[in-house]
Amino acid sequence: MKKLVTSMLVGLVTLNVLAQTAPGRPKLVVGIVVDQMRTDYIEYLQHYFGERGFKKLMKEGVYMRDVDFKVSDLDVASATAMLYTGAYPSQTGVPSALVYDNEGGGITPALADSKTLGNFTNDSYSPERLRLSTISDEISIDGDGKGQVYALSADPQQSMIMAGHAGTGALWINNTTGNWATTTWYKQPMPSQISARNYSSSVGSRIDTMQWKPSVALDRLPGIPRHKAVAPFRHTFPKNEKDVYIRFANSPLGNREVTDVAIECIKGLNMGNVGTTVDMLNLGYTLAPYKYVKDGDYRAELTDSYLRLDKELGRLFEAIDRYVGPGNALVWLSSTGYYDDAVIDDRKYRIPGGEFSMKRAQSLLNSYLSARHGNAGYVGAFKDGHLYFDHKVIEEKNLDLNEVVADARSFLAKMSGVADAFTLNDILSPSTPTEESLRLSIDPKRGGDLFVTFNPGWTVVDDITYPPVSKPVRETPVLTPAFILSPGVEPQVIQNPVDATALAPTVAGILRIRSPNGSVSKPMLLKR
Instruction: Give residue-wise pLDDT tens across range 209-233.
Output: 999 999 999 988 888 888 888 889 9
Separation between Cα atoms, residue 248 and residue 154, nearest integer Å: 9
Residue type, 297: D
Architecture of domain 355-472: 2-Layer Sandwich (3.30)
At 466, phi and psi to the nearest 5? Answer: -130, 135
At 399, phi and psi to the nearest 5? Answer: -100, 155
Within 13 A of 13's CA, how many CA atoms are on the CB side? 6
For residue 35, what are the contacts with CB-CB under 8 A and spacing of at least 6? 76, 79, 284, 285, 286, 287, 288, 335, 336
pTM for the predicted model, two decimal places: 0.93
Helices (H), 324-357: none
CB 494 within 8 A of CB 64: yes
pLDDT of residue 7: 47
pLDDT of 3 higher than 70: no
pLDDT of 398 higher than 70: yes
Look over the chain and give the mean of its residue pLDDT values, rounded to a whole number. Answer: 92
Closest CA to 223 of 305, 307, 310, 299: 299
pLDDT of 448 higher than 50: yes
Q: Which residue ranges make up each domain of the chain?
A: 31-341+476-500+507-511, 355-472
pLDDT of 504 higher than 60: yes
* Assigned CATH topology for domain 31-341+476-500+507-511: Alkaline Phosphatase, subunit A (3.40.720)
CB 110 within 8 A of CB 98: yes
Residue 345's CB is within 10 A of a number of other CB atoms, namely 15
Across the range 397-418, mean pLDDT stands at 96
pLDDT of 13 higher than 60: no
Across the range 341-369, mean pLDDT stands at 92
Query: How far lies 447's CA from each of 98, 428, 439, in Å?
Result: 11, 11, 11
Three-class secondary structure of residue 77 per DSSP: helix
Across the range 47-54, mean pLDDT stands at 96
CB 306 within 8 A of CB 41: yes
Separation between Cα atoms, residue 364 and residue 347, nearest integer Å: 27
Instruction: Give residue-wise pLDDT tens across range 108-128.
Output: 999 999 999 888 898 899 999
pLDDT of 466 higher than 60: yes
For residue 61, what are the contacts with CB-CB under 8 A and spacing of at least 6? 331, 483, 484, 485, 486, 489, 491
Number of helices (H), then strands (E), in the chain: 19, 23
The DSSP code for 524 is P
pLDDT of residue 178: 95
